Amino acid sequence: MNGELLQRVTEVKDLGIHFTSDLQFRKHVVNICKKAYRNLGFMLRQANDFTNISALRALYEALVKSHLEYNAAIWSPSEIKYKKMIERIHNKYIRFMYMKMYKIYPGYPLLYPTLFCLGMVGYYRLEVRREVALATYLLRVLRGDIKNSGLLTEIGFCVPDEYVGRRRRPRLLVVPRARTNLLQRAPLTRALRTLNTVAEHIDIFNCTLSEFTRATYCVVSKD
């Protein structure tokens, strides 16, 4: 060892994600937003004269959105500040695409709502996409498509007593009682709530993944 001491660190980067000792991914969100915004600016400058919509979508998916969604199930923010930080980049691209598709910028002479522009261009909010991806991952773990024994031990099914004769259908999965905001906004807690809501509309164990995805988008988009 030559008298060398191990250095204590409070931050480490693993597979492109910045982990801190408090398990808050604020720094990671800031870093990916800087990189995505820089790439978006490069894309908009270079593709300003492009007329091929498919090419513009491909550039955005590869250069920008890939950074904003990479392993998002791990670092998905719960604080409004960081959600808006990510959505601001996405919305700038959406308004650029709206101008390309409909020959009018959605900020002049009328300021079109962001949700309207998203629907006209054919995108969802990135927050919605993260919640759908999170719920889909948990469903695949429950089905056995993905092996994650540690996560399975945290999931419980609701088996209420004297269910026969009740009109109201019980919840499918046990959602932990959140005594703190941290637990209430935890990825597993959010995914369990989403699955319970989707399970009220379709059989999540007998439907296809595409059917589940469509139903989940409908549920999450209403929140």
DSSP assignment of the chain: -TT--PPP-SEEEETTEEEETT---HHHHHHHHHHHHHHHHHHHHHTTT---HHHHHHHHIIIIIHHHHTTHHHH---SHHHHHHHHHHHHHHHHHHHHHHHSS-TTSSS---HHHHHHHHT---HHHHHHHHHHHHHHHHHHTSS--HHHHTT--B---TT-TT-SSPPPSBPPPP-SSHHHHTSHHHHHHHHHHHHHTTS-TTTS-HHHHHHHHHHHHHH-
Which pLDDT does position 163 carry in this prediction?
Answer: 54
Q: pLDDT-derived band of residue 10, with 50, 70 and 90 as boundaries?
A: confident
Is the link from the previous residue into 113 a cis peptide, with omega within 30 of 0?
A: no
Confidence class of residue 147 from pLDDT cuts 50, 70 and 90? very high
For the stretch 88-126, pLDDT in tens is 999 999 999 999 999 988 876 678 898 999 999 999 999
Q: How far is CA 132 from CA 91, 100, 211, in A?
A: 19, 28, 12
- Average pLDDT, integer, range 192-211: 93
End-to-end CA distance of the chain: 56
Confidence at residue 160, expressed as pLDDT on a 0 to 100 scale: 67
Nearest CA among 190, 193, 191, 214 for reference residue 202: 214
Paired tokens of 175: 């959602």
Is residue 9 over pLDDT 90?
no
Confidence tier at 64 by pLDDT (50, 70, 90): very high
Q: Report pLDDT for 176.
A: 85
What's the pLDDT at 213? 95
pLDDT tops 90 at residue 138: yes
Mean pLDDT of 71-95: 92
Q: How many CA atoms lie within 13 A of 28 on its CB side?
A: 25
Specify the pLDDT at position 166. Answer: 55
Number of CB atoms found within 10 A of residue 48's CB: 9
> Where is pLDDT greater, at 210 or 78?
210
Measured between alpha carbons, how far is 127 from 93 in angstroms, rounded to an integer? 15
Q: Is the pLDDT of residue 204 over 90?
A: yes
Look up the pTM and report it: 0.85
Q: Is the pLDDT of residue 35 over 90?
A: yes
CA-only gyration radius of the chain, Å: 21
